[in-house]
Structure 1
Amino acid sequence: MATIVLSTVGSLLGPVGRAAGALLGQSVDGLIFKPTGREGPRLQDLKVQTSSYGAQIPKLFGTMRVAGTVIWATDLVEHRAKQGGGKGRPSTTTYSYTASFAVLLSARPVRSVGRIWADGNLLRGAAGDWKSETGFRLHLGDEDQDTDPFIASAEGADGAPGYRGCAYAVFENMALGPFGNRIPSLSFEIEADPGPVTLAAILAELSDNFLAGVTGLALRGFAASGESVRAVVETLGSAVPIVLRATDEGLALAGDGDEPLALVEDELAEVRSERLAADHDVPRLVALSYYEPARDYQAGVQQARRSGGRRTERIELPAALEAGEARALAEAALARRTGERGRQSVSCGWARLAVAPGTIVRLPDRAGLWRVAARTVDRDGVRLDLTRMEAEGMAAAPAEPGRSAAAPDRVHGPTILHVLDLPSLTDTLPASPRLYIAAAGASAGWRRAALMASLDGGGSWIAIGITAAPAMIGLARTVLPPAGEALFDQAHDVEVELLHAGMLLEDADPDRLVGGANLALVGDELIQFGRAAPLGGARWRLSHLVRGRRGTAWAAALHVVGERFVLIEPEALFSYDPPLSAAGAAVRILASGIGDPSPVEASAAAIGEALRPPAPVHLAAARAADGGYRLSWVRQSRLGWTWLDASDVPLGEDRERYRLTITRADGAARIHEIEIGRFDYPAADVAADAAAGSVVTVTVTQLGTSAASRPASMTLVL
């Protein structure tokens, strides 16, 4: 007696074991499948990046997100940058690291790579923009693809494989600072084929067209892993009703449109009664794990339940599905396991010897369709063992994909750069000019940019570091009227427009204002604002002002529409100290971020506002008894901006000195250098100057250690 028995290929297969048993096992298995390897992948396998020798590389279909395997890497490269130093100040040396490496993505060609995640955050956005510095090349996996030039330069032309037929990506000099100075765990959104791919196409390619047929089922993406086609069929068959049947040419997929074989009453020698498998053999719950494209391909689970039964069956399908599609698969799988409890056995004559396992048949006087599970041949004819088939639909069912934990995809965008020559912002006085660099992006995704400086008109450039945190930058959309710095300015306000709506300003009460909160540069005047009212979009109205901060009252009358606005926050300012010899010269700054097609330039004259004492205030002239005048003024200081009762502000310079200039109506001038805040204008000089005209201009400049203040002037009628 010769027997062909359809064996069960393990609990993962479910109906596939009943549908294809012997075709996937024993002698027939050896026709198309290699020796048994590991089963198909768990979902976690596609999420964790590996570098293990011999790790399995999936063949990708449709669109999927995978981690890949690192196949080549250089050692970390250390970069050193020295900042500051000179004039008794210590220098600061910063270290950064880069690495170059290659990641194998698919064991078959792909079309493109979309988003890339690093440690769960986007490294490359949907628009193709990069969030961190790196070089990148994608090799699509053509059979004739060339060796990567960077790998070839490092390993030599003879030691660098081309990985033909496999898609891989090369990262060149990736900046590792954002990832703790290590190569991050990467995952890639890969389009291997345009649109969904049918199950028939996947199996046909994997089996070199040995498994052929048609089926309407399509997957948005699938990762075929395992050492044999058998492993892939087992993986798919746990969730999808795969029916294989033997033909003269080999194995074929039984399609939805195949006509069942009708067995008639006259040819059946015996029909045994239908039997049902035990209810506890059917799962109570089927839980299907999959990848959800709407949630950045994070793993999702959809469940189907029934009353009765005791066990839970878990299916891990390395496929990209919408929530409703996954729910429909789970419900259909449970329906099949429930409906296929029916067993039937019939005996036929020799005419049905050609009926192969996997054939779909219809019985007389029996409802539904039956699948041939086993065929036994003996001297009396052919006995067919049948399994009832469950009629099912594959329409998507209502389902919730769950809450997304998607990484934000903010385009980096171009750099907006301002170079600021500000008064000293601390109580530590610089000994050389100090410039502050404020930078941000036109979009909320901007992070940072590399900085270079030139002191010789662009003849040479030196690297000076990396920008600080994104600054709050914008433009004034109204003119800020002049006002004094002595009292709160409640009469005026100014409207500003920030670079984008992601930038936010906040109010500050008087106590916080006294503590220095909400300091901002408008044009060249430093102000503070107590009230920031949002006007919609990126526009704000600033009011409850404190004007002329840190000696900038001279700029209160110079405001225009469109002038710069920068919120002064220490963490958002990069300080650069050019040498003292650069005082008064133009300093050019280049910023280069990953969103800049070419470096962005800004410049400022290193006048040295941080070196200047503020201009004297409260100039006064008191008539003396002899006809002369007592001229007086009050000095200001680069130090001690906090109000101190019963105490004068510190000098902030090596000594107190002033230049007093008295200019007559005819342009002649008397110049005096004095060391106190007053001067006796003699009666004789008054008379001589009055002869040239009735008015003189008195100008006082404080002479600081390294620079002179702006002049303070008054007109004196003699």
Structure 2
Amino acid sequence: MATVVLTTVGQLLGGPIGAAIGALAGRAFDQAVLFKPKGREGPRLTDLAVQTSSYGSQIPALFGTIRVAGTVIWATDLKESREKSGGGKGRPSVTSYAYSASFAVALSSRPIRAIRRIWADGNLLRGAAGDFKTELGAMRVHLGHEDQPVDPLIAAAQGVGETSAHRGTAYVLFEDLALGDYGNRIPSLTFEVEADEGAVSIGAVAQALTGGAVAGDGLATVAGYAASGGDARAALSPLFEAHGLSLAGDRLVADGEAVAQVGGDALVRAVNGKRREPAERRSAAADGVPVTLALGHHDAARDYQAGVQRVTRPGPGRIETGMDLPAVIGPARARQLAAQRLDAAWAGRDEMTLCCGWDALDLAPGAMVTVAGEGGSWRIEAREWEAMAVVLTLRRAAGGGAPSGEVASGGIVREVDAPHGPTILMLVDLPPLGESAASGPVIVAAASGGAGWRRASLLALSDMGEATPLGRTAPPAVMGVVDAPPGVASSLLIDRIGAMEVSLLAQDMVLADAEEAALEAGRNVAMVGRELIQFARAEAIGPARWRLSDLRRGLRGTEWAMTEPAAGDPFLLLEEDRLFSLPDALLSAPSVRIAALGIGDVEPVEAVVAIDGAAIRPPSPVHLAARDDGAGGASFSWTRRSRAGWRWIDGVDAPLVEEAERYMVELADGAGIFRRAEVAAPTWTWDAAARAEDMAAGHGGPWTFTVRQMGVRAIGRPAVMTINP
């Protein structure tokens, strides 16, 4: 007796995957053993999502368009650069170290057409427009043709004679990729690779992987496929199993493609004079069939990430199973395939043995047939030549049923894919924000841009044109411009009537409401012009446009600037982690000039700020009063304020902060200042003799009285009142 089963065609096959191919299609492709344990490990979706660098790692053969991680095949040591930043607000400077690396990542063992998007640690590194979100020197794509040259960077590092061109392997070379965004390490990269134009048929994939030994016409297509495994059989198994394909000779056959009918009068009822049963039926237990099957796949609607479709059958059983299909298909089709495989497992419980005449030798194992008197299609699992008869072992194939209706891909958090764009740079001389007193001016750089902007490098520019690196900007600040200014209000009251409208730089910048406790903690404080404003309510009124209300005006001694906000003035939300404090060494000059250079900047963007020292300048005194002293003179008084202790937690007098209490007072009229004095208490008397002297000199009033507190590092803002004779 001789037996021919599906594995007999192994000698036909060859291909680029693996050294010894073995049998391409055997019982592993048959529905009867679809869910039985297998002694092999084929490609899994997780294998395509994790970047490797181990020696001997397999490089898949890619078809269509799919997202893969690849294998690092060459890398340099990390390149170190030193950056000094900080030193502002009386804090010590910080020296940080930035790193970059050059490396090559192999993607496919067959040629590709192009690379689209690239993700690093799940975040976009390269957008659909080809723009990069992180700094790098260059990126070169080697498409994997047999005549591709060596990469010049690898050749320069290793020597031309020692450098492989990696012909037949598609790979990407990154030159000096900045690693600061990835914890100063080479990130885990995934690539959207376009290996073929459009979808590819399963027959074309099989033909390519077997060197033309196996093909099929009219088969299903996939948008992308990653073939890997020890041989061509392992590489194609997930694709064949998911679609219910088997091999008949050198042709692929799908469920339901019956080529002939067997049974009926063609059955043999006696062999060598001995009677035998021409047909035997067997059926396995129902609870041996899985009740649930989950099919994993790549979903283009989810940026080619993994999707899972799960189907459940009615009836007895507790077995749950799954299968990974490293192909790009939609969720509806994935659910349909999962239902078909579950249906195939259920139908495959039925097995039949037929004793046929010699004509059955024309039927190859793997072929689909119909059986006289039986419904549905049956697959030939084995063909045995037994004495003068041919015995066919058949298994019922799937009926082709599938669930109907819409199937969603599920939600996905997708990063905004927008060009980095130009940098918007703002320098701000901050007033006191904390509860303690600053020891020097506080100048911060705020930078941002459009939706795709991330960070930029900062440079301090001297009058001689020299540029000193300061490090990188903080993350994007929430910035914009004033569309409608808030109008006139009091710094002593909450303005529940007025409002301010602003346009932010990007639609992904968001403002939010804040309750009283959050406001007390410093939430929703913004610099508008040179006034510090806090808002409790933020209402979106259009794309990137907001209406801010419940305003606290002129905070931290900035009431002097309340008349300045106008349409077109800059708006900056003050968040400490989004502000870069300039080092104290830059703040001794009257002004400071800073340049920023980001990925989207054609040339450096500059900003200049005059150093006024708002953080070290005492606020103006309040509650000015003047009264006759009863002797022909006048007495002036006021109340001191402090640049520290703004929350007034203890309810007593504000801390002095300065080394001594001193004030500069001035009297002026239309001709200018005619009397100036320095006092050590919040009072001053213009005695009768001085007043008579000044009036005799032509200063007959009305007069302007000005008082400033003299700080240890700067003179304070003026408080002014007008008095009449």
State yes or no: 1:694 paired with 2:696. no
State yes or no: 1:279 paired with 2:284. yes
Q: C-alpha distance in 2, partners of 1:617/1:31?
A: 89
Which one of the candidate residues 60, 64, 85 is aligned to 2:66?
64
- Report the CA distance shift for 1:314/1:138 in structure 2 as closer, same or farther (over 3 A): same
Question: CA offset at residue 107 of structure 1?
Answer: 0.8
- Local SS of the residue matching 1:474: strand
- Report the CA distance shift for 1:153/1:705 in structure 2 as closer, same or farther (over 3 A): farther
Does structure 2 retain, via aligned residues, the 8 Å contact 1:702–1:708?
Answer: yes
- Local SS of the residue matching 2:392: strand
Q: Which amino acid aligns with 1:628?
A: G
Q: C-alpha distance in 2, partners of 1:166/1:679?
A: 88
Structure 2 equivalent of residue 147 of structure 1: 150
CA-to-partner distance for each residue in 1:518-540, whole Å, 9 max, x for gaps?
Answer: 43222211133344455455444
Structure 2 equivalent of residue 343 of structure 1: 352
Does structure 1 retain, via aligned residues, the 8 Å contact 2:481–2:568?
Answer: yes
- Local SS of the residue matching 1:260: strand
> CA-atom RMSD, angstroms?
3.8
Which one of the candidate residues 527, 542, 561 is aligned to 2:548?
542
Q: C-alpha distance in 2, partners of 1:275/1:379?
A: 18
- Report the CA distance shift for 1:554/1:62 in structure 2 as closer, same or farther (over 3 A): same
Question: CA offset at residue 384 of structure 1?
Answer: 5.5
Which aligned pairs between 1:293-372 and structure 2 lie closer than 5 A? 293=299, 294-296=301-303, 297-303=305-311, 305=313, 307=315, 314-339=322-347, 341-348=350-357, 356-358=364-366
State yes or no: 1:239 paired with 2:231. no
- Local SS of the residue matching 2:707: strand
Structure 1 equivalent of residue 171 of structure 2: 168
- Report the CA distance shift for 1:55/1:629 in structure 2 as closer, same or farther (over 3 A): same
Q: C-alpha distance in 2, partners of 1:265/1:530?
A: 86
Does structure 1 retain, via aligned residues, the 8 Å contact 2:127–2:419?
Answer: no
Question: CA offset at residue 225 of structure 1?
Answer: 0.9
Question: CA offset at residue 201 of structure 1?
Answer: 0.3
Moved more, 62-71 or 493-502: 493-502
Does structure 1 retain, via aligned residues, the 8 Å contact 2:88–2:584?
Answer: no
Q: Which amino acid aligns with 1:343?
A: M
Structure 1 equivalent of residue 433 of structure 2: 425
Question: CA offset at residue 63 of structure 1?
Answer: 2.1
Question: CA offset at residue 420 of structure 1?
Answer: 0.8
Question: CA offset at residue 200 of structure 1?
Answer: 0.6
Which one of the candidate residues 106, 118, 121 is aligned to 1:104?
106
Does structure 2 retain, via aligned residues, the 8 Å contact 1:583–1:608?
Answer: no
- Report the CA distance shift for 1:274/1:65 in structure 2 as closer, same or farther (over 3 A): farther
Moved more, 353-362 or 264-273: 264-273
- Report the CA distance shift for 1:651/1:359 in structure 2 as closer, same or farther (over 3 A): closer
- Report the CA distance shift for 1:590/1:239 in structure 2 as closer, same or farther (over 3 A): same
Question: CA offset at residue 102 of structure 1?
Answer: 2.0
Which one of the candidate residues 580, 585, 594 is aligned to 1:589?
594
State yes or no: 1:472 paired with 2:481. no
- Local SS of the residue matching 2:205: helix
Does structure 2 retain, via aligned residues, the 8 Å contact 1:262–1:362?
Answer: yes
Q: C-alpha distance in 2, partners of 1:581/1:29?
A: 76
Which aligned pairs between 1:234-273 and structure 2 lie closer than 5 A? 234-246=237-249, 251-254=250-253, 260-261=259-260, 273=278
- Report the CA distance shift for 1:450/1:193 in structure 2 as closer, same or farther (over 3 A): same
Q: C-alpha distance in 1, partners of 2:494/2:321?
A: 72
- Report the CA distance shift for 1:482/1:266 in structure 2 as closer, same or farther (over 3 A): closer
Percent of residue pairs bearing the same amino acid type: 42
- Local SS of the residue matching 1:162: coil
Question: CA offset at residue 646 of structure 1?
Answer: 7.3
Q: C-alpha distance in 1, partners of 2:583/2:712?
A: 17
Question: CA offset at residue 432 of structure 1?
Answer: 3.6
Q: C-alpha distance in 1, partners of 2:376/2:576?
A: 77
State yes or no: 1:622 paired with 2:619. no
Moved more, 295-304 or 267-276: 267-276
CA-to-partner distance for each residue in 1:114-161, whole Å, 9 max, x for gaps?
Answer: 343334444445555545444543332232333333333333333332
State yes or no: 1:35 paired with 2:20. yes
Unaligned runs of 5+ residues in structure 1 are 8-19
Q: C-alpha distance in 1, partners of 2:604/2:236?
A: 54
Q: C-alpha distance in 2, partners of 1:29/1:142?
A: 23
Which one of the candidate residues 205, 216, 219 is aligned to 1:216?
219
Q: Which amino acid aligns with 1:613?
A: P
Does structure 2 retain, via aligned residues, the 8 Å contact 1:244–1:253?
Answer: yes
Structure 2 equivalent of residue 188 of structure 1: 191
Q: C-alpha distance in 2, partners of 1:359/1:549?
A: 84
Q: C-alpha distance in 2, partners of 1:702/1:131?
A: 49
Does structure 2 retain, via aligned residues, the 8 Å contact 1:371–1:387?
Answer: yes
Question: CA offset at residue 575 of structure 1?
Answer: 1.6
- Report the CA distance shift for 1:392/1:383 in structure 2 as closer, same or farther (over 3 A): same
Structure 2 equivalent of residue 712 of structure 1: 719
Structure 2 equivalent of residue 74 of structure 1: 76
Unaligned runs of 5+ residues in structure 2 are 23-39, 271-276
Q: C-alpha distance in 1, partners of 2:561/2:123?
A: 44
Question: CA offset at residue 108 of structure 1?
Answer: 1.1
- Local SS of the residue matching 2:20: coil
- Report the CA distance shift for 1:86/1:211 in structure 2 as closer, same or farther (over 3 A): closer
Question: CA offset at residue 286 of structure 1?
Answer: 6.5
- Report the CA distance shift for 1:388/1:694 in structure 2 as closer, same or farther (over 3 A): same
Does structure 2 retain, via aligned residues, the 8 Å contact 1:348–1:383?
Answer: yes
Does structure 2 retain, via aligned residues, the 8 Å contact 1:55–1:69?
Answer: yes
TM-score by length of 1: 0.84
Which one of the candidate residues 117, 133, 151 is aligned to 2:119?
117
- Report the CA distance shift for 1:208/1:649 in structure 2 as closer, same or farther (over 3 A): same
Q: Which amino acid aligns with 1:196?
A: A
User: How many residues are treated as equivalent by the alignment?
Assistant: 692
Moved more, 261-270 or 313-322: 261-270
Q: C-alpha distance in 2, partners of 1:353/1:220?
A: 38
Structure 2 equivalent of residue 15 of structure 1: none
CA-to-partner distance for each residue in 1:471-522, whole Å, 9 max, x for gaps?
Answer: 333332223233343344445332333443541222332x665554443222
Does structure 2 retain, via aligned residues, the 8 Å contact 1:214–1:255?
Answer: no
CA-to-partner distance for each residue in 1:405-442, whole Å, 9 max, x for gaps?
Answer: 54544547444332111222234444443202233443
CA-to-partner distance for each residue in 1:164-206, whole Å, 9 max, x for gaps?
Answer: 2212223333343443433333322322222221011001111
Which aligned pairs between 1:597-608 and structure 2 lie closer than 5 A? 598-608=603-613
Moved more, 179-188 or 78-87: 78-87
- Local SS of the residue matching 1:230: helix
State yes or no: 1:579 paired with 2:585. yes
Q: Which amino acid aligns with 1:327?
A: R
- Report the CA distance shift for 1:299/1:252 in structure 2 as closer, same or farther (over 3 A): same
Question: CA offset at residue 335 of structure 1?
Answer: 3.9
Which one of the candidate residues 648, 663, 668 is aligned to 1:663?
668
- Local SS of the residue matching 1:239: helix
Which one of the candidate residues 83, 86, 99 is aligned to 2:85?
83
Which aligned pairs between 1:371-450 and structure 2 lie closer than 5 A? 373-375=381-383, 383=390, 385=392, 387=394, 390=397, 392-393=399-400, 397-398=404-405, 400=407, 403-409=410-416, 411=418, 413-414=420-421, 415-443=423-451, 446-450=453-457
Structure 1 equivalent of residue 274 of structure 2: none
Q: Which amino acid aligns with 2:328?
A: A
Question: CA offset at residue 551 of structure 1?
Answer: 1.7
State yes or no: 1:456 paired with 2:458. no
Q: C-alpha distance in 2, partners of 1:42/1:646?
A: 67
